[in-house]
């Protein structure tokens, strides 16, 4: 499968005007790729995820084209998108712990959901049991009400449910944020397992926690203020990033064993711009130590070496 | 800090003025309120005096009785505007008292927790289950003389349980919010916490509650008056309907005697409900329509 | 679940206890001497008659024994089913008067409560579907629920009963008939029943429609609804789940509204001279028949408590969370 996103723009409608939350995203995810999507709060990563699967007001589709496995996704058409949801593209949402109907037994809810999508519970049941086993859930959970499950169990249930029809692309939205460190690792590894067993073809893991991505992602894409900053293999992003923001981001991560009296933790001075009337050009301009006049124009997100995309006028040489 | 507060207030008024439900609702209530206040000054007729002799007058048939007369020759307009006054008085006092009791009971229970809460909650449930009209009937029936104040107090003392429940739930949720924990950690005394941190958040909610109680008290009073257990003197909208039905206004087709009072109550209470919804939208950004 | 019901039953028993105590207390603590007021009503001045009556009433009120014994006697006769003798319907017993009136109340209340609840919820759910539906149903619902019960009754009686002469406006059946089994009688009963029923139905309907509309909007924005939508479930399924979940607080609301609904039935009966408990209650008040008044009061209380209990049972059946030991909103 492959995901091809071209110049996707999705804004938030507010009484004071449109917030330009996602302003021109162009990138690809290859077959079998696990891409981590990272960035600060408000950088647009959740907007991107929601745009791909459930674009409802106050989100407003402005322009752009998204192709999944060669087919164009009718993002703005809620009804037409239903054909793609769950089967081709799916999500494990941030609110996974509340995502199950509290007054329905899980088995019944699953059966009804499948039936409404034209799938049969009978046909899938054995596979469902197998997957429950894989994530460490007792098959008895199917006959329970969500209230009887712990938070972690509910989340795993949602993971199984969302991938039940083997979607091409799975988006995992901040699924580790509420967990302790060891459970985080377990959940992240479960995701990789899903990909390795072909339950899903490709994945987009959205988080603000880069250390998780370092463990499980193939590639990492960094977003800032509604724009894409950099996308490369995880080693490249961690060890040799090229975008000034990425560089400062990585260097501001605490490292095990480093003591504060030896090396102080560096932050990034300043704050992200508000997106109601965003600054002209590159949105990192105000905080970037390398900014110059050309930065008043939006730098394109281009390939500076195979598999490495950056949006910065300083990289590579030919644009300067 | 001061700027933030005034900005917040401005934002509130901005949304308040733009909200249709709030505007229409308030307009209707204010219309009747004004009528209740200045209406009586347009007539010298006592609402209960038998003035006109002969066939009851229709509305606008005579200059002196623009709303017509009752079967006994009383001035319907006079009854109407004085009755409106009674309605607003009962609504305000009865509704206000019910809100007050409900808030106190609910808040103490919610904040204190433990045995106090258990006891108060049980008391609330008991009063909740008892049909208030039945109790009011029993009490009113034994009192020879009843005034409008007494009626308001009765209503106030029986209508508070749902408010207590709601306030208790709100207090629970606010009590465990982070900003309260912060205040506690910084050493603020309990009372101060209540007034400075919790109360402001509840203010908007209390306003909504009061509006609903006002409407409820109005309906309750009309019902009591209609059965004949309202104030023994004076006039009210419910009493108008009571008299009308008791004296064959339906059969005699004296519609101007029983239609205006009920219409006014429906309009006022309906407007209050709509205002309530509008205010809720103003306070709660999630409900606002784009 | 035992805990849930245990608490409920305790509250109902306590409430009953409180209600009976209030019922017993009020006449004794109201200003004035109940015996004197009874005597005043009898209206004779002959000293022998007065004395005899005073003795009688003192005995009947039980005022010749110490107060705690009066209280216990009251309970004793209550549990025997002896509610005293009606004054204005003398010599019929209060319990008898009440029992004849009860079927009419049940005939009015049960259908109107059930139908208005079901229909109101359905319509309220429709309102959440489309904006234009919302804009019509909402004002209609608010108007109906803001309408005082007796005024709607008056309007219907006057409009449909008198002006259009479609329905009768007094009594439970035609005055020239005595109760018997025949189509004529049954159709007369129905004919007399329709307006009071419609009046109750309409006002309650408005309330439920509004309530459901508000709750279902909230449910449609819940996380589980969003999840289903994200997985591309059809709106039909999302709405079905939201509706079922919204019915639960509406059921709780029904229990809370019982007092109001009963009050509405009372005044409706007054308007239509429909011979239910409400009608008897009013007559009792007007004739100062305190025994009948107290009997009606107790009966209403018991009825409401029973109805509450039934709703509690239904709630447990419907909300799976209460069965699994997690307390829902009701407890």
SS in 3 state form for chain A? CCEEEEEEEEEEEECCEEEEEEEEEEEEECCCCEEEEECCCCCCHHHHHHHHHCCCCCEEEEEEEEEECCEECCCCCHHHHCCCECCCEEEECCCHHHCCCCCCCHHHHHHHHHHHCCCCHHHHHHHHHHHHHHCCCCHHHHHCCHHHCCHHHHHHHHHHHHCCCCCCEEEEECCCCCCCHHHHHHHHHHHHHHHHCCCCCEEEEEECCHHHHHHHCCEEEEEECCEEEEEEEHHHHHHCCCCHHHHHHHHCCCCCCCCCCCCCCCCCCCCCCCCCCCCCCCCCHHHCCCCCHHHHCCCCCEEEECCEEECECCECHHHC
Question: CB count, 10 Å around CB of C92?
Answer: 13
Q: How far is A169 from chain C (nearest CA, A)?
A: 13
Confidence category of residue B96, pLDDT binned at 50, 70, 90: very high
Give, in degrees to the nearest 5, the angle at Cα A184 between A182 and A188.
125
Q: Which helix (H) or strand (E) holds C118?
A: helix C94-127
Structure token digits, residue C269: 């009966």
Question: What is the number of alpha carbons within 13 Å of residue A109 lying toward its C-beta?
Answer: 27
Question: In this predicted model, what pLDDT tens digit does every residue of C262-274 receive, in sequence order?
Answer: 999 999 999 999 9
Which residue of B129, B142, B244 is in closest CB contact with C11? Answer: B129
Which residue of A53, A103, A158 is in closest CB contact with C321? Answer: A103
pLDDT at B8: 62
Residues in chain B: 290
Q: Which residues of chain C lie closer than 8 angstroms to A145, CB-CB?
A: 320-321, 324
Q: Which residues of chain A lie closer than 8 angstroms to B290, CB-CB?
A: 13, 15, 57-58
Q: CA nearest C291: which of C102, C99, C83, C100?
A: C83
Phi, psi of B84 (to 5 degrees): -60, -40
Identify the closest residue of chain B to C260 by CA–CA distance: B131
Higher pLDDT, B181 or A247: A247
Contact in structure between B65 and B57 (CB atoms under 8 Å): yes
Q: Is B136 helix (H, G, I), strand (E, B) or coil?
A: helix
Contact in structure between C149 and C200 (CB atoms under 8 Å): yes
The set of residues, in sequence order, having a beta carbon less than 8 Å from that of B56 and lying 6+ positions away, is B68, B69, B70, B71, B73, B252, B254
Q: How far is C240 from chain A (nearest CA, A)?
A: 11
Confidence category of residue B16, pLDDT binned at 50, 70, 90: confident
Question: What is the number of alpha carbons within 13 Å of residue B186 lying toward its C-beta?
Answer: 9
pLDDT at C35: 64
Examine residue A316 and say whether the peptide bond preceding it is cis (omega within 30 degrees of 0): yes
Question: CB count, 10 Å around CB of A217?
Answer: 26
Structure token digits, residue C143: 């108007």
| Interface check C27 vs B, CB under 8 A | yes
Please say if the pLDDT value at position C114 is more than 80.
yes
How remote is the C-alpha of A113 from its chain's centroid?
A: 24
Window 107-126 of C, Cβ < 8 Å to B: none
Phi, psi of B143 (to 5 degrees): -95, 125
Alpha helices (H) along B61-198: 76-112, 114-129, 132-142, 148-158, 161-175, 178-185, 190-193
Q: Which one of C124, C151, C221 would you mutate to disrupt binding with B, by most B Cβ within 10 Å of its Cβ?
A: C151
Contact in structure between A12 and A59 (CB atoms under 8 Å): yes
Which residue of B215, B227, B267 is in closest CB contact with C267? Answer: B227
The set of residues, in sequence order, having a beta carbon less than 8 Å from that of B49 and lying 6+ positions away, is B74, B75
Confidence category of residue C196, pLDDT binned at 50, 70, 90: very high
pLDDT at C74: 80
Confidence category of residue C328, pLDDT binned at 50, 70, 90: very low
Residue with tokens 């307390």: C327
Average pLDDT over residues B226-230: 84
Average pLDDT over residues C154-183: 85
| Residues B137, C151: C-beta atoms closer than 8 Å | no
Q: CA nearest C128: which of C206, C209, C202?
A: C209
| Residues B141, C157: C-beta atoms closer than 8 Å | no
Confidence category of residue C327, pLDDT binned at 50, 70, 90: very low
Identify the closest residue of chain A to B15 by CA–CA distance: A15
Q: Is C144 helix (H, G, I), strand (E, B) or coil?
A: helix
Structure token digits, residue A102: 């509290």
If you write DSSP's letter for every residue of C9-60 in order, what string do you get?
Answer: HHHHHHHHHHHHHHHHHHHHHSSS-HHHHHHHHH----HHHHHHHHHHHHHH
pLDDT at C87: 67
What is the rounded CA–CA span in Å between residue A159 and residue A157? 5
> Buried b / exposed e across C162-177, counting CB within 10 Å, b at 16+?
beeeebbbebbbeeee
Q: How far is C27 from chain B (nearest CA, A)?
A: 7
Question: In this predicted model, what pLDDT tens digit does every residue of B233-271 receive, in sequence order?
Answer: 889 999 999 999 888 888 888 899 999 999 999 999 999
Confidence category of residue C53, pLDDT binned at 50, 70, 90: confident
- Could you tell me which chains touch chain C, where touching means 3 or more CB pairs under 8 A? A, B
What is the rounded CA–CA span in Å between residue A290 and residue A313? 10
| Interface check B265 vs C, CB under 8 A | yes
| Interface check B126 vs C, CB under 8 A | yes
pLDDT at C331: 33
* Highest-scoring range by mean pLDDT, B31-45, C131-145, C203-217: C203-217
What percentage of chain B carries pLDDT values higher than 70?
A: 84
A231: which strand partners?
A221, A309
A3: which strand partners?
A29, A68
Question: In this predicted model, what pLDDT tens digit does every residue of B100-141 receive, in sequence order?
Answer: 999 999 988 887 778 888 889 888 988 888 887 777 777 776
Q: Is C83 helix (H, G, I), strand (E, B) or coil?
A: coil
What is the rounded CA–CA span in Å between residue B139 and residue B71? 31
Q: Which helix (H) or strand (E) holds C309?
A: helix C290-318
What is the rounded CA–CA span in Å between residue A3 and residue A202? 9
For the CA atoms of chain A, what is the radius of gyration?
A: 20
What is the rounded CA–CA span in Å between residue B114 and residue B97? 26
| Predicted ipTM of the assembly | 0.91
| Residues B176, B178, B181, B183, CA torsion sign | negative
Please say if the pLDDT value at position B195 is more than 70.
no
How remote is the C-alpha of A315 from its chain's centroid?
A: 25
Q: CA nearest A288: which of A234, A232, A246, A226?
A: A246
Q: Is C221 helix (H, G, I), strand (E, B) or coil?
A: coil
pTM over 0.90: no
How remote is the C-alpha of A195 from its chain's centroid?
A: 15
Contact in structure between A8 and A191 (CB atoms under 8 Å): no
The ranges of chain A with pLDDT < 70 are 1, 316-320
Structure token digits, residue A145: 């009400």
Confidence category of residue B190, pLDDT binned at 50, 70, 90: low
pLDDT at B11: 67
Mean of the per-residue pLDDT values of chain C = 84
Identify the closest residue of chain C to B246 by CA–CA distance: C271
What is the rounded CA–CA span in Å between residue C121 and residue C115? 10
pLDDT at B232: 82
What is the rounded CA–CA span in Å between residue A247 and residue A236? 11
Mean of the per-residue pLDDT values of chain B = 84
pLDDT at A320: 41
Q: Is C93 helix (H, G, I), strand (E, B) or coil?
A: strand
Identify the closest residue of chain B to A57 by CA–CA distance: B290
Contact in structure between B167 and B100 (CB atoms under 8 Å): no
Question: How many beta-carbon pairs under 8 angstroms link A with B?
Answer: 4
A17: which strand partners?
A14
Residue B207's Cβ-count burial label (10 Å; 0-12, 13-18, 19+) is middle
């Amino acid at each position: 499968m492959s995901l091809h996103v071209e110049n996707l723009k999705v804004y938030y409608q507010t009484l004071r005007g449109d917030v330009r939350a996602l302003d021109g995203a162009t990138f690809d995810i290859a077959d079998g790729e696990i891409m981590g999507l990272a960035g600060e709060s408000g950088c647009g990563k959740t907007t991107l995820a929601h745009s791909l699967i459930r674009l409802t007001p106050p989100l407003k589709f402005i322009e752009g084209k998204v192709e999944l496995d060669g087919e164009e996704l009718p993002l703005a058409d809620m009804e037409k998108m239903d054909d793609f949801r769950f089967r081709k593209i799916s999500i494990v949402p941030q609110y996974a712990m509340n995502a199950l109907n509290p007054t329905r037994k899980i088995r019944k809810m699953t059966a009804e959901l499948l039936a409404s999508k034209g799938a049969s519970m009978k046909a899938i049941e054995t596979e469902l049991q197998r997957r429950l086993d894989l994530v460490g859930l007792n098959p008895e959970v199917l006959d329970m009400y969500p209230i009887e499950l712990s938070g972690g169990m509910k989340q795993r249930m949602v993971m199984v449910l969302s991938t039940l029809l083997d979607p091409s692309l799975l988006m995992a939205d901040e699924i580790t944020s509420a967990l302790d460190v060891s459970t985080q690792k377990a959940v992240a590894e479960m995701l990789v397992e899903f990909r390795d067993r072909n339950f899903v073809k490709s994945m987009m893991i959205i988080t603000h926690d880069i250390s998780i991505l370092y463990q499980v992602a193939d590639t990492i894409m960094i977003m800032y203020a509604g724009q894409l900053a950099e996308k490369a293999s995880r080693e490249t992003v961690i060890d040799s990033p090229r975008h000034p923001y990425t560089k400062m981001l990585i260097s501001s991560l605490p490292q095990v064993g480093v003591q504060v009296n030896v090396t102080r933790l560096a932050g990034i001075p300043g704050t992200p711009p508000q997106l109601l009337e965003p600054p002209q050009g590159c949105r990192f301009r105000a905080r970037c130590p390398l900014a110059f006049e050309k930065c008043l124009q939006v730098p394109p997100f281009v390939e500076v070496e195979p598999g490495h995309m950056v949006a910065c006028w300083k990289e590579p040489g030919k644009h300067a | 800090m001061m700027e933030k507060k005034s900005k917040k207030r401005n934002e509130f008024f901005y949304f308040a003025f733009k909200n249709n439900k709030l505007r229409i609702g308030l307009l209707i209530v204010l219309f009747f309120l004004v009528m209740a206040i200045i209406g009586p000054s347009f007539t010298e007729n006592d609402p209960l005096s038998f003035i006109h002799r002969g066939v009851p007058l229709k509305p606008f048939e005579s200059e002196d009785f623009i709303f017509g007369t009752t079967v006994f020759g009383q001035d319907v307009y006079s009854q109407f505007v004085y009755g409106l006054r009674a309605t607003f008085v009962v609504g305000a006092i009865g509704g206000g008292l019910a809100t007050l009791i409900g808030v106190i009971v609910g808040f103490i229970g919610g904040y204190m927790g433990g045995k106090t809460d258990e006891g108060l909650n049980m008391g609330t449930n008991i009063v909740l289950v008892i049909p208030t009209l039945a109790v009011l009937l029993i009490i009113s029936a034994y009192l020879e003389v009843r005034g409008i104040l007494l009626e308001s107090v009765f209503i106030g003392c029986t209508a508070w349980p749902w408010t207590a429940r709601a306030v208790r739930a709100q207090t629970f949720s606010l009590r465990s919010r982070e900003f309260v924990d912060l205040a506690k950690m910084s050493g603020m005394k309990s009372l101060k916490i209540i007034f400075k941190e919790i109360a402001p958040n509840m203010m908007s909610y209390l306003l909504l509650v009061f509006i609903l109680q006002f409407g409820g008290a109005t309906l309750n009073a009309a019902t009591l008056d209609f059965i004949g257990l309202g104030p023994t003197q004076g006039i009210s909208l419910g009493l108008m309907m009571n008299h009308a039905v008791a004296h064959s206004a339906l059969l005699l087709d004296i519609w101007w005697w029983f239609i205006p009072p009920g219409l006014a109550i429906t309009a006022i209470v309906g407007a209050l409900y709509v205002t309530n919804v509008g205010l809720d939208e103003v306070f709660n950004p999630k409900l606002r329509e784009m | 679940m035992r805990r849930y019901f245990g608490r409920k039953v305790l509250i109902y028993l306590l409430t009953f206890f409180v209600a009976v105590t209030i019922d017993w207390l009020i006449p004794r603590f109201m200003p004035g001497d109940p015996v004197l007021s009874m005597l005043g009503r009898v209206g004779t001045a002959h000293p022998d008659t007065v004395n005899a009556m005073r003795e009688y009433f003192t005995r009947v009120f039980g005022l010749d024994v110490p107060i705690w014994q009066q209280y216990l006697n009251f309970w004793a006769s209550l549990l025997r089913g002896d509610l005293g003798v009606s004054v204005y319907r003398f010599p019929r017993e209060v319990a008898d008067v009440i029992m004849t009136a009860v079927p009419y109340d049940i005939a009015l209340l049960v259908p109107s409560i059930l139908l208005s609840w079901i229909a109101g919820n359905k319509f309220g759910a429709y309102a959440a579907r489309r904006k234009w539906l919302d804009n019509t149903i909402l004002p209609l619902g608010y108007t109906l629920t803001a309408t005082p019960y007796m005024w709607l009754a008056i309007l219907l009686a006057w409009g449909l009963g008198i002006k259009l002469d479609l329905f009768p406006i007094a009594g439970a059946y035609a005055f020239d008939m005595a109760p018997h089994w025949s189509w004529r009688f049954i159709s007369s009963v129905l004919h007399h029943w329709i307006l009071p029923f419609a009046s109750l139905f309409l006002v309650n309907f408005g309330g439920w429609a509004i309530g459901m509309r508000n709750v279902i909007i909230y449910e449609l924005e819940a996380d589980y609804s969003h999840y289903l939508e994200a997985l591309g479930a059809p709106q039909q399924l999302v709405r079905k789940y939201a509706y079922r979940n919204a019915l639960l607080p509406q059921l709780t609301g029904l229990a809370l509204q019982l007092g109001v609904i009963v009050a509405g039935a009372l005044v409706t009966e007054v308007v239509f001279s429909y011979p239910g408990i409400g009608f008897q209650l009013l007559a009792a008040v007007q004739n100062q028949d305190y025994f009948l008044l107290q009997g009606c009061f107790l009966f209403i209380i018991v009825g409401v408590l029973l109805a509450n209990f039934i709703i509690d049972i239904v709630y447990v059946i419907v909300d799976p969370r209460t069965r699994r030991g997690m307390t829902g909103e009701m407890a």
